[in-house]
Structure 1
Amino acid sequence: MSESPRPASRMSTRAVVIGGSLAGMLAAAAVRDHVDTVEIIEARGLPEGPEARPGVPQAAHFHVLLSGGANAIEELLPGTVKELLSAGANRVPMTTNMLIHSPEGWYRRWQRDSHYLITASRDLTDSVVRRQVVKDPRVGVRPHTNVTALLGSSGRVTGVRLRAADGTETDLTADLVIDASGRGSRLPRWLGELGVPGPAEDRIDSGIAYASRIYRAPVPTHNWPVINVQADPRSGEPGRTGGIVPIEDARWHVSLIGTPGAQPTREAAEFEPYARTLRHPVVADLLAHAEPLTDVALTHSTVNRRYYYERLKSWPEGLVALGDSVAAFNPVYGHGMSVAAIGAVALRTRLASLGLANGLSRKAQRAIARPVELAWSLAVGQDIHYKTTQGRTAGAADRLLQRYVSRLSHTATGSYRVATAMTEVLTLQSPGTVLLHPSVLAAAAIGPLRPQLDGPTFTGGERRLLAEAGIALPWMAR
């Protein structure tokens, strides 16, 4: 829908987005219809196509876009999912096209299409979203430029101070500043310089390390299932998780994940032997027939970190924080991109109802906190049960909740109703209260209605592809 012409005498409005990350691009998409221009300030350069963007260490590890996030991106940028699929990404129905070994057992491949994942390399996802955003003539990008401070006062932010690559400093005024600078955000310090007390902060670190590698898949990857063998934090042993995600160009993105005492290394010779230590050999057995295309990438940057900006008594107008600048999650749970997208939609909704009027910033920040809260509870609710976790230990209420979630997961292995409810929450399409609905509570009390599977279940078509590739898996469930 086109906007009404603005009076010629009206002063133009500008939004400044700090960071050219996925969150930054989605922030620009959220505000572009409500201001005259959007300036994205990017400390590094932005690649032209699906190439690595400096400063995104997690891009080396597999990423999935949950249906809650994909739907949000589609709302902001119609046609983006189609563009991703055309570029080689996969749409993976949950759990129809997934082989998941949870701590409670193998999930069945329930037939449903409403909950799904989009699987692609992070570089491809970033490039498609970026292309959709920067083609808008209202959106500009200033690469190789740093934001060094906020302009304004404790009551209102009026712009940012910039430092160009040659060291030149200038001031850029703005009606709205959005911090989407990620894990390295300096917003708490900038707020302090304006006289705004710092926010409460949580840091919960399970010590998880990621080792990842890309392989040439031995079978076609279109409609190939996502495979995930999860650790069991209840065992008291160091956790080992691993998975295979089909991505564009007939490749598998493989990540192996371990807590202290079981952390993988960057040594290529140790990658596949580590996969052999998972709770089931499916990942290792498939990798034995795949061709490695990259070295092993390793990261320890998996801390759950959250700033509670929505709780501050004083929050300046003209400022919003979004994405990892607010909360960065252990990436094993796959929530980061989706939380940023849902938060951007929340920002756009508040802008549509309030405009740039007083009260926007605080209300938008509180709305952004809602999807953060759900993803935070899902991530932290698991991580605190590892003995090596620092920052918080599991209390009696946490252990009670874990037992209930474990009961739900056990029931989900043989109950479509419970599996659907859990998937709605895990894909950020419904709040956690869905799991307390009387029908779900009753189903959990009854338990699974079907016997547990003794291994992953490949479809007839997948078996044929394996056979054609000369891959025999002797443990394969008949």
Structure 2
Amino acid sequence: MSRRAVVVGAGLAGMLAAAVLSDAGVAEVLVVDRDALPDGPRQRRGLPQGRHAHLLMTGGLSAMEEIVPGVSLRERLLAAGAHEISLSSGMLALTSEGWLRRWRRAGPVMLTCTRALVDWTVRAAVLEHTRVSIRRGAVTGLTGSAGRVRGVRVSGPGGEEVLDADLVVDASGRGTRIVGWLDGLGLSGVRSRTRTVDSGLVNASRMYRVPAGAERFPLTIVQSNPYVSRPGRSAMVMPVEGGRWLVSCGGTRGGEPPADPEGFLRYTLGLPDPIVGRLVSGAEPLTDVHLSRSTSNVRHYLEKAPDWPEGFVVLGDALGTFNPAYGQGMSVAAFGARVLGRELARSGDLGAPGLARRVLRGAARPVDAAWSMAVGQDVLYPGTRGGRPSAADRAVSAYTRRMTRASTGSYAAASAIWDVTSMRASPARMFHPSAVLAALAGPPLPLLTGPPLTPGEREVLAGLDRTDS
């Protein structure tokens, strides 16, 4: 195997890519990041969405565990205080079509914790079990030619220097400078292959202490409704480590949540069901309200470029970013790193002809699936910039809405949605014959008139409620 690989970005995508490269036998794997990385699960500057809710789905976690050798990330996260939530029975979810039921059947799970804990756990595991090293510096460009990338230029405390590499991986995230870097090599035209769809989503999040007696209260979410020609508005109460609730609100253009505490509470109480506001009205806030606007969907169609240099791979958010409301980013990053690992195992050499192009095309497939799901809904909100619903979008939207309505009273429909949401199956799962039949039949059980709470949960909610609801 070759001498050195340089990974740009020490976020989730970068550390997973580094683990893959080290496991493939690369002698030196160097990760370069502009930030001073925290020595624990704390927020860092280069992750604008880090303070908001993130869901680690089954499919993504499975890919991560396959990538990082010698450690169970699931066990580490749970030991650090993460929560394992069953999609079938462990959450209260109000969809655009009504409340989902809670089924006494096994279903996919997800882990809930802060994004900082996920990043820290993965980074620590990779550094413990591989030969990967991290260096602070800002990558300012690529070296080489239009035919092959030979390394990166790095600006650091000692000035600018060149790091030679047999393979460079851009995992620098939403803020990637990929277009300018490729221009510098003489590869133009990439900008015209970039698309942005921006619903104007603003996220607002605040931490609360979990009240005594509410430790086992289910994850609670009021989803936005893209079918009513009004701004999307949503909220979630998610258990995280440290005996805390992370409460995140999201609103598209014209329905943005405010940053002041009183307005934040009013926003939750003004949703189609006030349950989130009722819960947090009796909980102790631990932080201010944090806002973020870095939420647009951006797709760099690099795999469609007519020419691509050897020795250069793009993964994670640097290839495609999605509205974070759909909980796809972490899993897609893991899928891309797994593609890199499989292609390295197949070729046996970083310098193998066509390796970079094959990785790019393989990594683009899960990006496309996530993009279709995110953009297909975002284009329905009023004021969305960069896209209008096509006839195909409207057809898929109508089917998805019918499936969602069926899922309020059909286990077959709900399980199809869970499989896709958890990213353990592709969107094609929604068109499996059993799912299609369930969608056509509609919900065999009547719509619930309120959240499916147990008697104990109703008592907890009533005890916390400080509103007039």
**What is the TM-score with the length of structure 2 in the denominator?**
0.95
In structure 2, what is the Cα distance between the partners aligned to 1:221 and 1:176?
Answer: 50
Verify: 1:379 aligned to 2:369, yes or no.
Answer: no
For residues 91 and 165 of structure 1, do their structure 2 counterparts lie closer, same or farther at Cα, with a shift above 3 Å needed? same
In structure 2, what is the Cα distance between the partners aligned to 1:374 and 1:330?
Answer: 13
Pick which of 244-253 and 220-229 moved more. 220-229
Give the conservation status (yes or no) of the 8 Å contact 1:133–1:139: yes
Give the conservation status (yes or no) of the 8 Å contact 2:235–2:248: yes
Q: Which of the residues 150, 153, 156 maps onto 2:142?
A: 150
Mapping 1:309-328, distance limit 5 Å:
309-328=302-321
Verify: 1:88 aligned to 2:78, yes or no.
Answer: no
Instruction: Tell me how far 1:472 sits from its aligned partner.
Output: 6.2
Q: Deviations over 1:174-197 (max 9, x none)?
A: 111100101110111111111223
Give the conservation status (yes or no) of the 8 Å contact 1:371–1:428: no
Verify: 1:195 aligned to 2:193, yes or no.
Answer: no
Verify: 1:13 aligned to 2:3, yes or no.
Answer: yes
In structure 2, what is the Cα distance between the partners aligned to 1:315 and 1:459?
Answer: 57
| Aligned equivalent of 1:445 | 440
| Aligned equivalent of 1:349 | 342
Instruction: Tell me how far 1:399 sits from its aligned partner.
Output: 1.3
Q: Deviations over 1:85-120 (max 9, x none)?
A: 000000111131011100011111124444111100
Q: RMSD in angstroms over aligned alpha carbons?
A: 1.9
SS at match of 1:163: strand
Q: Deviations over 1:125-158 (max 9, x none)?
A: 1111110011235111102x11111111111111
Give the conservation status (yes or no) of the 8 Å contact 1:383–1:389: yes
Verify: 1:228 aligned to 2:215, yes or no.
Answer: no
In structure 2, what is the Cα distance between the partners aligned to 1:216 and 1:90?
Answer: 15
SS at match of 1:59: coil
Verify: 1:258 aligned to 2:272, yes or no.
Answer: no
| Aligned equivalent of 1:294 | 287
Give the conservation status (yes or no) of the 8 Å contact 1:258–1:264: yes
In structure 2, what is the Cα distance between the partners aligned to 1:136 and 1:20?
Answer: 16
Give the conservation status (yes or no) of the 8 Å contact 1:177–1:319: yes
| Aligned equivalent of 1:181 | 172
SS at match of 2:331: helix
Pick which of 231-240 and 296-305 moved more. 231-240
In structure 2, what is the Cα distance between the partners aligned to 1:142 and 1:112?
Answer: 47
Verify: 1:434 aligned to 2:425, yes or no.
Answer: no
For residues 112 and 176 of structure 1, do their structure 2 counterparts lie closer, same or farther at Cα, with a shift above 3 Å needed? farther
Give unmatched runs, 5+ long, in structure 1.
1-10
In structure 2, what is the Cα distance between the partners aligned to 1:288 and 1:41?
Answer: 43
Give the conservation status (yes or no) of the 8 Å contact 1:221–1:247: no
Q: Which of the residues 155, 163, 166 maps onto 2:155?
A: 163
SS at match of 2:444: coil
Instruction: Tell me how far 1:12 sits from its aligned partner.
Output: 5.3
Letter in 2 for 1:148: T
Mapping 1:357-372, distance limit 5 Å:
357-372=352-367
Give the conservation status (yes or no) of the 8 Å contact 2:22–2:130: no
| Aligned equivalent of 2:54 | 63
Instruction: Tell me how far 1:219 sits from its aligned partner.
Output: 4.2
| Aligned equivalent of 2:322 | 329
| Aligned equivalent of 1:3 | none
Q: Deviations over 1:50-97 (max 9, x none)?
A: 111112110111111111111111111241110000000001111310
Instruction: Tell me how far 1:366 sits from its aligned partner.
Output: 0.8
For residues 96 and 390 of structure 1, do their structure 2 counterparts lie closer, same or farther at Cα, with a shift above 3 Å needed? same
Instruction: Tell me how far 1:260 sits from its aligned partner.
Output: 2.1
Pick which of 232-241 and 458-467 moved more. 458-467
SS at match of 2:325: helix
For residues 108 and 137 of structure 1, do their structure 2 counterparts lie closer, same or farther at Cα, with a shift above 3 Å needed? closer
Q: Deviations over 1:237-288 (max 9, x none)?
A: 2221111110011100001111222211211221101111111011011011
Count of residues in correspondence between the two structures:
462
In structure 2, what is the Cα distance between the partners aligned to 1:268 and 1:434?
Answer: 41
Give unmatched runs, 5+ long, in structure 2.
none
SS at match of 1:440: helix
Letter in 2 for 1:234: Y
Q: Deviations over 1:379-417 (max 9, x none)?
A: 001100011101000122211211110000001111111
SS at match of 1:450: coil
| Aligned equivalent of 2:267 | 274
In structure 1, what is the Cα distance between the partners aligned to 2:189 and 2:110?
Answer: 36
In structure 1, what is the Cα distance between the partners aligned to 2:404 and 2:216?
Answer: 25
Mapping 1:63-142, distance limit 5 Å:
63-77=54-68, 78-136=71-129, 138-142=131-135
In structure 1, what is the Cα distance between the partners aligned to 2:135 and 2:450?
Answer: 52
In structure 1, what is the Cα distance between the partners aligned to 2:276 and 2:54?
Answer: 17
| Aligned equivalent of 1:30 | 20
